[in-house]
């Protein structure tokens, strides 16, 4: 088991469940949130090695969650189906992954991002 703790912030329940299963099978500890408010509460409770967040959430912009997580030392990934409308230059500190993305592809990205990060 990797021991790395991941927060997944995704408002589509089917996508969230699919990714969470892939990460769990990959040996990661996973928490799931569906909104900015839920993600803020999760960040208040726990420390994460990596935060994966959808750019567009029902109650706000996922970038704010990614910014907070990065400020707290986490690796960050922003998922979006809207790469073409993302503000230029404001996303430089986060890895951008276009949707749709297969769970196996996202898992490979996560493994590369966490390869040099010590487990929690």
| Mean predicted confidence (pLDDT) in 40-44 | 98
Q: Is 69 exposed, middle or buried (0-12, 13-18, 19+ CB in 10 A)?
A: buried
DSSP for residue 118 = P
Q: Which domain holds residue 58?
A: 5-101
Element (DSSP H or E) covering residue 61: strand 60-61
Is there a domain that residue 33 lies in? yes
The confidence score (pLDDT) of residue 117 equals: 64
Is there a domain that residue 47 lies in? yes
Is there a domain that residue 75 lies in? yes
The confidence score (pLDDT) of residue 93 equals: 83
The maximal CA–CA distance of the chain, rounded, in angstroms, is: 38
Which residues does residue 54 pair with via DSSP β-bridges, in sequence order? Answer: 79
- Residue 39 sits in a domain whose CATH number is 3.40.50.2300
Is there a domain that residue 116 lies in? no
Is there a domain that residue 119 lies in? no
Q: How many domains does the chain divide into?
A: 1
Residue 120 has pLDDT above 90, yes or no: no
Is there a domain that residue 107 lies in? no
Is there a domain that residue 118 lies in? no
Give the predicted TM-score (pTM) of the model. 0.91
pLDDT digits (tens, 9 = 90+) for 53-105: 999 999 999 999 999 999 999 999 999 886 666 666 656 789 999 999 999 99
């Amino acid at each position: 088991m990797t021991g790395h703790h991941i927060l997944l912030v995704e408002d589509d329940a089917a996508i969230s469940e699919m990714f969470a299963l892939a990460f769990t099978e990959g040996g990661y500890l996973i928490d799931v949130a569906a909104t900015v408010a839920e993600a803020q509460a999760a960040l208040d409770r726990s420390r994460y090695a990596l935060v994966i967040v959808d750019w567009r959430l029902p109650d706000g912009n996922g970038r704010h969650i990614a910014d907070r997580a990065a400020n707290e030392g986490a690796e960050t990934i922003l998922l979006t189906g809207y790469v073409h409308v993302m503000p230029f230059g404001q996303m430089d500190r986060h890895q951008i992954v276009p949707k749709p993305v297969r769970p196996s592809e996202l898992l490979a990205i996560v493994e590369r991002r966490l390869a040099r990060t010590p487990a929690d």
